[in-house]
Amino acid sequence: MEKREFIIFSGHSFRLGLVSLMVNVRENCRIIRFFLILIMIYSLTRCRQFFARFIFSALLFGAVCTFPSALFALDTLRQQELLHLLRQDCGSCHGLRLLGGLGPPLTVSALQDKPKEYLEMVILNGVPERAMPPWKGLLTQEEITWLAERLLEGVAE
């Protein structure tokens, strides 16, 4: 909830509007998924024929599992690209090992008191008048969230 507000407040562009919509959709997905599961349980109790019941539930289960993640999860290839970006391109200012350079260190200990939302905001919008550029034109909200999570848990060498 907080996050959504923050995104709407911090951004002015149409793009950001879209981003916040996506966040909404993602949350709505949970509700959709919940209803799908209810329907599945209901149909299971209703369906007489074992085989049909089996197929039906398997299909539903598949849909429930893949629908949201297929839409939103970053595939492993993209994750690797992002890790490369983090070390190399963020690294051009923060150091290849993120130990600091022109920009401050981005190690777990350096970031321990900083909330994920703060990191996301800084990466999304940059720091005005400072050398930290906004990445919103190059990365999606989803990717930025993923990067912030990696930073907080520590990026393995």
Supply the minimum distance, in Å, between the C-beta of residue 49 and ligand HEC: 54
The reply on whether position 132 binds ligand HEC by CB under 6 A is yes
Residue nearer to ligand HEC on the CB measure, 32 or 93: 93
DSSP one-letter code for 129: T
| Contacts of ligand HEC in 97-116 (CB under 6 A) | 102-104, 106, 114
DSSP one-letter code for 15: H
| Contacts of other proteins in 15-74 (CB under 8 A) | none
* Positive/negative CA dihedral, 89, 116, 25, 7: negative
Query: Which amino acid appears at position 58 of this protein?
Result: A
Phi-psi region of 100 (alpha: psi -120 to 50; beta: other; left: phi over 0): left
Q: Look at residue 137 and give the partner it binds from ligand HEC, other proteins, none, a contact being a CB closer than 5 to 8 Å depending on partner kind.
A: other proteins
The reply on whether position 13 binds other proteins by CB under 8 A is no
